Amino acid sequence: MKSAISIPVTVKLSPFFTNFANVARRLDDAGADGLVLFNRFYQPDIDLDELEIRPNVLLSAPQALRLPLTWIGILYGRLHASLAATSGVHSAEDAIKLLMAGASVTMMCSALLRNGINHLRHTERGISDWMEQHEYESVRQMQGSMSQQRCSDPSAFERAQYMRAVKSLQHVLGRG
């Protein structure tokens, strides 16, 4: 496609790949200008009383942020394509985290549907205030500062960290 057109090409991706890093690398090698992590698919439901398929739009929750945060943090600095974060972006803090992981842009839909378009002003003000408080002069300065390549503990993005988290959870629950 890139050889046939002159406009930028961005690919919306789902997280449902066996080897997501390989897919991202192949799209980058093919010339994708950007990757959107992660597209939410429409998922209908079945009404058991009426025996009909029903539309079911599920808005994201802030907890959905973790998946794009993880993959953007891992991919940042390893691809030429820009990285866009979607799913779970509800606040200034969410946007800041994703930018620090390496996102070039964050996308906010569910929060706007819930809170209205004026939520953007609140979010922008929150980002500006945070940047001023932490002495960041630009978004570019913070972008990728907490990516796997730049953070003080790169293993925090890896599976071994999951095992440490599970063990700490067991301790909190009194099972460890």
**Per-residue confidence (pLDDT) for residue 40, from 0 to 100:** 77
| Mean pLDDT for the stretch of residues 41-64 | 90
Best-predicted range by mean pLDDT (16-20, 41-45, 51-55, 128-132): 128-132
DSSP state of 146: T
- What's the pLDDT at 164? 61
pLDDT in tens, 153-170: 887 777 655 556 566 666
Nearest CA among 121, 141, 65 for reference residue 97: 65
Element (H, E) at 165: helix 159-172
Q: Tell me the pLDDT tens digit for each residue of 81-109.
A: 999 999 999 999 999 999 999 999 999 99
| Beta-sheet strands, E only, within 2-145 | 10-13, 34-37, 45-47, 52-54, 82-85, 105-106
Confirm if 88 and 68 have CB atoms less than 8 A apart. yes
